[in-house]
Structure 1
Amino acid sequence: MADQSTPGTSSGAREDASAKDDSPKTSRATAPEASAGPSERTASSETRSAGVMSRRRLLGTAGATGLALGAGGAAVGYAAAPSADKAVPLASVGMDTVMFHGKHQPGITTALQARGHLVAFDLAAGAGRREAAALLRRWSATAERLMAGESASHDDTDVALDAGPSSLTVTFGFGHSFFARTGLEKQRPVALDPLPDFSSDRLDKGRSNGDLWVQIGANDALVAFHALRALQKDAGSAARVRWQMNGFNRSPGATASPMTARNLMGQIDGTRNPKPSEPDFDGRVFVPGSGDPAWMANGSYAVVRRIRMLLDDWERLSRKAQEDVIGRRKSTGAPLSGGTEKTAMDLDKTDADGNLVVPINAHARITRPDQNGGAAMLRRPFSFHDGIDADGVPDAGLLFVCWQADPLRGFVPVQRKLDRGDALSDFVRHESSGLFAVPGGAARGEYVGQRLLEG
């Protein structure tokens, strides 16, 4: 769960992932770790045109009353108590903007977001390629407006009327069944073939797969919900919701290390996520520009799994037993073999009795890329909690989302190995699954998927 190739339990793109976001974010106050790289960074919010914020006009800056957090934290504005004749300025969190257009779709290398919605749609009976193209055109236009902080439409519900864009991202993908529904079977990628069955799966088919998939992320709950409602309304009679899942992460400013996530088991997650600074990052995560089929150039494949954590069972373990299951210290994320969170794990180190310090079935050992033929993926999930079930057990866990250029070289080999003896398997249950082809970003004047639907 702590290491980079953990399908099913790891939680996310760390600060390094945001450094190579091809859908750059602008912000008045963003920590260096969370900012985009030099080639992708846009002009600061001071230089943006006044029209960007539209009706959600920024009421002031947070700088005068801002309190900068420690290293790694975002600088968050804290306004003084409002008087009757003064409006409270938006904090920097609300002002952050991610661009809709770009080489890749937003929401892949974008830094972790506090709120998320994952939604799958099925095309309505009788709807085909023409209806799908019209829907993607509507969705793209709405996403572009909302991500810029504008109204969704003239009859907008104004759910998030006074909010800024709050790093809103919207990402679109196509499921295996979409291509038969639209007569585009010849354009279906081989990489989109159904995932194999795994012995640990307990999948609900009604909450798996789908013709179309939408990922929504934002750092404000109302902004995320507003986007969800707008896109659901845009679907009209062309598509219906197949399933929807809601998730969360830490809020910006809640911790001095906001990009190091803890999952609901209390473990530090994402330690060994691929980093954009690594020379093979693009090759692992994105389909090359010369890839096949051509419409998937610069796109990626998303594996989506709802993984329930059996928290009552997990919490009965001692801290040492939990650390042995993972192979890392709960407090710091450091490997049991010693060092800090980022220290390379010594798989051969033994204790005074000759026992391996990192157990042979420890999750962090099994998921290492060098133990899986180099298989790697960029994980960017959300935690979820959907209440208490009829047995009084928390329905909580991870909405696992991982990105790779080819799931047969990323997710599948790692999950197969986990299936054969991961110590963590006794404490998690895979309850739904989906695989989606996510095309590259839309150029200005295009909608997402246009090269497929109009090619």
Structure 2
Amino acid sequence: MTDSGSRQVGRRRLLAIGALAGGAAVTGAAGAAVTAAAGEGTQRSMGRRRIPFDGLHQAGILAPNAAHGWFAAFDVRPGADTHRLRAMLQEWTAAARRLTAGVPSPGDDAMVTGYGPASLTVTVGFGASLLRRLGAPIPGALDPLPAFPRDAIDPARSDGDVGVLFTADDALVIAHALRTLTRLGNGAVRVRWQMTGFSTTGGVVAAPGATPRNLMGQLDGTGNPRPQDPGFAGQIFARDPAWMRGGSHLVFRRIRMLLDEWDRLPRHRQEQVVGRRKDTGAPLSGGTEHTALDLDKQNPDGGLAIPASAHVRQASAQANEGATILRKGFSYFDGHRPDGAPDAGLLFMAFQADPRNAFTRIQQRLSGADDLSRFLRHESSALFAVPGGCRPGRYLGQDLMEGL
């Protein structure tokens, strides 16, 4: 917008505010001007938001909800040696520092000229296959995930030597970041698969910071642990090997929701399947969205308020020997399948110190006892070791690469 245009919007805003102060009703064009000006301010604020790249942990682990989440897995090209992979990680790190600050990287394609960083995060993880290729010991936390009942895993859209999670409040900013890393990685890696997801855009819901909804209409992420919770760091961040300190292990699952079947359930049955009210997210044992589950509470008829097979009961730490994961989820809607059913669901991501004691334990229980599992199909799966964050002047995975 030109300076003249900015002054005009500012003048309209002042006129509207003056009318309100004088007790006049703001209607028609004046009311629209106030709404438009507020919207423009929100968009500018979102575009300017920056999440620092450097830190003890990679920023994408603890970053707040973003409007868009893309995941790309890469395989190492034949002939790419350790020296080339080390150089790539150095180039990726330098580019990510600039991109997350809203600064063009060398050879930039000008795709996002005039855009801010839009809360971009770039989080890199290593698969067991990469460590094997490098000749590095593979920690037990990277043991392959077991097969679970009802899994329908597509190998072509699973696993990978390197995984990268991009989150931001603008999809073009992510597309630019992915293109940049793909270009810099040319000769060392190639894209194995890529998936794109979305969440709530800032300003859409009435309450700032409200829990987003998934395609089943349920609030998604209510029970996530918080950094201030006792034991959070020990449950989410790895302590060994040394190159993983400050890092975490990321489980990725593409979960298709059987939405047509779900929609046939009356609302009260959907709430019983999940264990929460659909409107407020409050547990069926009472309270508000963030009220703790009361798994012992009974209804007047003597039945459990939260049914025995309800998702929140079966996924709870109480039911899984304290197992805890930090979830990130993005909805996807990729059109319709040949049978007419929606090809839609959740790009599910879970960070934890050790998947064997967290995701695997929880999923084994869910796949056998969770009523919600009847409406889900896990179609892609991957596991990555996400090393700790960087200090300025260092690059991602440096302790691993220089210890070889």
Both proteins in one fold, TM over 0.5:
yes
- 2:84 counterpart of 1:131: yes
After TM superposition, the runs of 4+ consecutive aligned structure 1 residues lying more than 4 A away are 63-67
Match of 1:445 in 2: 393
Cα distance in structure 2, aligned partners of 1:256 and 1:339: 20
> Does the CA contact (< 8 Å) of 2:42 and 2:203 recur in 1?
no
Rate the CA distance shift 1:81–1:284 in 2: closer, same or farther, 3 A.
closer
1:89: Cα distance to partner? 10
1:353: Cα distance to partner? 2.5
Match of 2:402 in 1: 454
Q: Please list every run of 5 or more consecutive structure 1 residues that lacks an aligned counterpart in the other structure.
A: 1-58, 68-75, 83-87
Amino acid at match of 2:53: F
Of 240-249 and 227-236, more deviation after overlay is shown by 227-236
Q: Secondary structure at the match of 1:317?
A: coil
Amino acid at match of 1:135: M
Cα distance in structure 1, aligned partners of 2:260 and 2:198: 21
CA deviations over 1:351-376 (Å, ceiling 9, x no partner):
23322221110101111101110000
Amino acid at match of 1:389: R
- 2:340 counterpart of 1:392: yes
Q: How does 1:37-436 map to 2 (within 5 A)?
A: 79=37, 91-153=44-106, 155-184=107-136, 186=137, 188-257=138-207, 258-287=209-238, 291-436=239-384
Amino acid at match of 2:155: K
Cα distance in structure 2, aligned partners of 1:411 and 1:128: 33
> Does the CA contact (< 8 Å) of 1:128 and 1:181 recur in 2?
no
Rate the CA distance shift 1:90–1:369 in 2: closer, same or farther, 3 A.
closer
1:78: Cα distance to partner? 5.1
Amino acid at match of 1:393: A
1:317: Cα distance to partner? 0.6
> Does the CA contact (< 8 Å) of 1:305 and 1:401 recur in 2?
yes
Rate the CA distance shift 1:404–1:80 in 2: closer, same or farther, 3 A.
closer
Cα distance in structure 2, aligned partners of 1:79 and 1:221: 23
What fraction of aligned residue pairs are identical, expressed as a percent?
51
Q: Please list every run of 5 or more consecutive structure 2 residues that lacks an aligned counterpart in the other structure.
A: 17-33
Q: Select the structure that is richer in helix.
A: 2
> Does the CA contact (< 8 Å) of 1:381 and 1:401 recur in 2?
yes
> Does the CA contact (< 8 Å) of 1:129 and 1:183 recur in 2?
no
1:96: Cα distance to partner? 0.4
> Does the CA contact (< 8 Å) of 2:313 and 2:319 recur in 1?
yes
> Does the CA contact (< 8 Å) of 2:330 and 2:346 recur in 1?
yes
Q: Secondary structure at the match of 2:230?
A: coil
1:350: Cα distance to partner? 2.4
Across the aligned residues of Structure 1 and Structure 2, the Cα RMSD in angstroms comes to: 2.3
1:80: Cα distance to partner? 8.3
Q: Secondary structure at the match of 1:305?
A: strand
Q: How many residues align structurally?
A: 377
Match of 1:30 in 2: none
Q: Secondary structure at the match of 2:75?
A: strand
Rate the CA distance shift 1:320–1:168 in 2: closer, same or farther, 3 A.
same
TM-score by length of 2: 0.89
> Does the CA contact (< 8 Å) of 1:60 and 1:89 recur in 2?
no
Match of 1:11 in 2: none
1:125: Cα distance to partner? 0.7
Amino acid at match of 1:223: V
Rate the CA distance shift 1:89–1:408 in 2: closer, same or farther, 3 A.
closer
Amino acid at match of 1:235: G
